[in-house]
Amino acid sequence: MGPSTFDGSSSHLGRSGPGLRDDTMVPMTSAPDPHELPVVPAAPADEAPTAAPADPAVPTGTLSDDPAGLLGAAMLRPVSPKLIPARYVGGIAGNIFWLLLIIAAIVGTVLTGWWWIAACGLLPLLIMLQSLLFTPRRVRAIGYLDGDEELTIASGIMFRSVHTIPYGRVQSVKIGEGPVERRYGLATLTVTTAAGGGTEALPGLPKAEAERLRTLLTDRGIELMAAL
């Protein structure tokens, strides 16, 4: 049997057997490691992280005696804080009267043994306590704003009232002060409106501010009446 010839043009790729080498290029792939954590692509640097939405069940604010949380309190000017001690001083006589009633109720209960006499003393006690505790809050709830066309006055906490007085309806403006207000340099501005509109009082104003408002209301009222 003669020697065999090898054709260089023919390919032996894919053959296997003894004495033959397989030169086939097989792509190398590796199986994923089950213990390796997946790689998460990083967010772009210019992309800001989004904030988590707020929980609607969590309250965003609480109502307090701050004027910002009261009806019609936007942009209102507060009155002088000196009105707080002025009201305490002015209420001394009334508090002494209520205190005497409380003492009388206690003495009457001890002497007679009738419990209902002590119950009668609860009413003056509540009146005196609410006056002492709520006076600062009531003063901080008072506010006013002199706008371009009207004067707004707001007061009250539980029973809130906001009154707007157009300058054209102002009939008279009065400034008053008592001995306690004079001691603290305060005054009360009283505005009477035309056509049965009533009277509105703004206490706790410094004297200079009360004079400014009186001049403003008078001048603006005259201008508007002249323009009609």
Structure tokens at 169: 């309806």
Task: Judge whether 12 and 21 are in contact, CB under 8 Å.
Answer: no
pLDDT of amino acid 148: 87
pLDDT at position 137: 93
Q: Is the pLDDT reported for residue 116 higher than 50?
A: yes
pLDDT value at residue 145: 93
pLDDT in the model for residue 70: 63
Per the DSSP assignment, residues forming a β-bridge with 170 are 193
pLDDT of amino acid 228: 63
Share of the chain above pLDDT 90, in %: 43
Rounded CA separation 192/171 (Å): 6
* Interacting residues of 34 by C-beta distance below 8 A, sequence separation 6+: none
Q: Is the pLDDT of residue 88 over 80?
A: yes
Annotated domain spans of the chain: 77-227
Query: What kind of architecture, by CATH, is found in domain 77-227?
Result: Roll (2.30)
DSSP E strand stretches across the chain: 77-78, 143-146, 150-155, 161-166, 170-176, 186-193, 198-206
pLDDT of residue 221: 81
Q: What is the mean pLDDT of residues 57-79?
A: 56
pLDDT digits (tens, 9 = 90+) for 186-214: 999 999 988 666 899 999 999 999 999 99
Per-residue confidence (pLDDT) for residue 224, from 0 to 100: 76
